[in-house]
Chain A
Amino acid sequence: MRRFALALPLCLIALPALPQSAADPVVTTNNAMTAAPGEWLGETPHFVLMGTVSGQVLDIQMPDIAAAEGVASFAGKREYRQKEGGFDYIDFEVALEAVIGGVERKFEVEFENADFASQTLPATLALDASEFPEGARSNAEIELEWEVGGQTVNAEVAGWAGEFVLAKDEGTPDDMGLSGDGMIGGFAKAELNGETWVLSFTVPVAEYEIDD
């Protein structure tokens, strides 16, 4: 990290010819919110992500996915881990693929807990860097992927601190008790190394997988 910090000023001098577009803020069109939400925005499928992740400034406002421009896919996935006599519900991810600012972009936000099924909703969980934390804690990881101007943005950042409210989590259990449908909704505010973001989402679940 120290070497990186020392190298950066030299890089800024040496990079005048690079396109700036990879560093441009990622902003959806027709944004109506002037401030980040302070709570979950409700049952309507939505994805609102505002803040900074890995240097990328994000102002993504899709308060109604059905009405949002450029959405290619928006889906959630639950992940279960087998244990003796059943499964723990250890993880879910929210994945958005959308064209924003003329660029195809992928966003994935993943939350972990020792067993989300043990939570009583709405559940307020402290964001925690440990994997699959027990109790009222959750790990959060956010991933950004796109190419712009010949440059690649490919960030996976975990270890956030903050808070996650799991507001909604409903599905139809199959014969093993696992749900690959329904909806998950929640609100998170996170901080790490001076970067912060806020997320509100309600996502339709399209599948589940069993962690083997």
Chain B
Amino acid sequence: MKSTTDPTGWRLACLMAVLHGLPAAAETVPETLVTALAETQGTEGDADDPAIWADPVRPLVIGTDKQAGLRVYDLSGSLLQEVQDGALNNVDLRAFDRLGGVALVGATKRENDSLVFYSLGADGRLVATSPALFPATFPGVVIDGTLVDDVYGFAMGLDKDGPLAIANFKTGQVYVWRIAVTEGQLALQPLRVHQVPSQPEGMVFDDVTGLLYVGEEDGGIWRFAADGAAMQVARVGDPCLPRDDVEGMAIHNGTPRHLVVSAQGIDRAAIFEITADGLVCKGLVDVAAGKIDGVTETDGLDLTSVALPGYPAGLLVMMDDQNEGFTSNFKLMSWAEIAAGLGL
């Protein structure tokens, strides 16, 4: 799988302009073409957001199907397990051994504005936790159809005090809980609330710095500290995000470290270098058709820097809306190919 770079940027910038009606701003942004090395089995439902379990021995991709629940795949894309659990929108996970498994997997459940959790066993199977279902707001907060409404994005994190669950609402609230286990039962303890101006979805918690990145779909990217300090670190209209929506995001823990963001309006992944001051746009990734079809209208994504079989520098997984047979699925790309293409 050869990575084709476009050092002048002209060809792709022009293609983008023709197909998307874009101004020529993207021509100044480095861009690389890569192809997927694998893809998951397609779903006739609506794939949305993936999470990678980066176990070198038994790596998994866990993806939401917004009409059905969760689907678990191996790195060849074969479907290993389906969890029929309703309209699960976003998913994330962290290593977690206090419930008998190896990881805790959480998701936002839209039809009843809740969070749902599963324990990932060493056998790679998901089992609902006890309890499994939690309200997606803090006690006393009323989901009223106006001020607080419609749970949407989800992320998990790990800070110095333990794991976190984070959910956002279309109305802009971002709720953060401490995950605990009390007498063998999963528990969520309210920690703090952040707010973005308009509808968010994609989020990633930076376990290294303790900062939370929240994508405001039509606005850009916000960074929140644990003390509530907020900073907008990228805007829609910037070179890496020429069009909305800002969707899924994930972090690659190399040197330097990078934030990867799904730029749905241009069907690409935007690569930012994480600096102390914010984010620096480093380029765009276009997953083009090769042996496997390309990525279009990408929604959620996930990324690991752990070396996995076939992915020596890490794995990027992106949702693809237009897959063969009128299905949607997830595409798997090599970070090594992306890093080489963009000179990261």
Contacts and interface: CB of A to CB of B under 8 A. Distances in A.
A147 B293 contact: yes
Contact of B297 (A55, A145, A149, A212): A145
B296 A4 contact: no
Given A73-B326, A147-B293, A152-B296, A212 B14 contact: no
B23 A10 contact: no
Contacts of B145: 82, 212
A7 interface: yes
B329 to A, nearest CB: 13
A147 B296 contact: yes
Contacts of A154: 19-20, 267, 296-297, 322
Interface string A172-187: 0000000000000000
A212 B267 contact: no
Interface stretch (A14-22, A133-141, A159-167, A198-206): A14-22
Contacts of A152: 19, 267, 294, 296, 322
Contacts of B21: 4, 54
Contacts of B23: 3-4, 7
A118 interface: no
Interface in B273-296: 288-289, 293-294, 296
Contact of B14 (A15, A73, A104, A150): A15
9 contacts: A4-B23, A11-B17, A15-B15, A147-B289, A147-B322, A150-B288, A152-B267, A153-B19, A212-B150
Interface string A9-49: 01100110110001000000000000000000000000000
B289 A10 contact: no
Interface string B322-341: 10111000000000000000
B10 A14 contact: yes
B326 A106 contact: yes
Given A7-B23, A145-B297, A150 B289 contact: yes
Q: Give the contact-size bracket for chain B.
A: 20 to 34
Interface of A: 3-4, 7-8, 10-11, 14-15, 17-18, 22, 54-55, 72-73, 82, 97, 104, 106, 145-147, 149-154, 212
B22 interface: yes
Contacts of B10: 10-11, 14
B11 A18 contact: yes
A7 B20 CA distance: 13
Contact of A145 (B288, B321, B325): B321
A150 B296 contact: no
A5 to B, nearest CB: 10
A104 B321 CA distance: 12
Contacts of A145: 296-297, 321-322
Nearest to B321: A145
Interface in B13-57: 13-15, 17-25
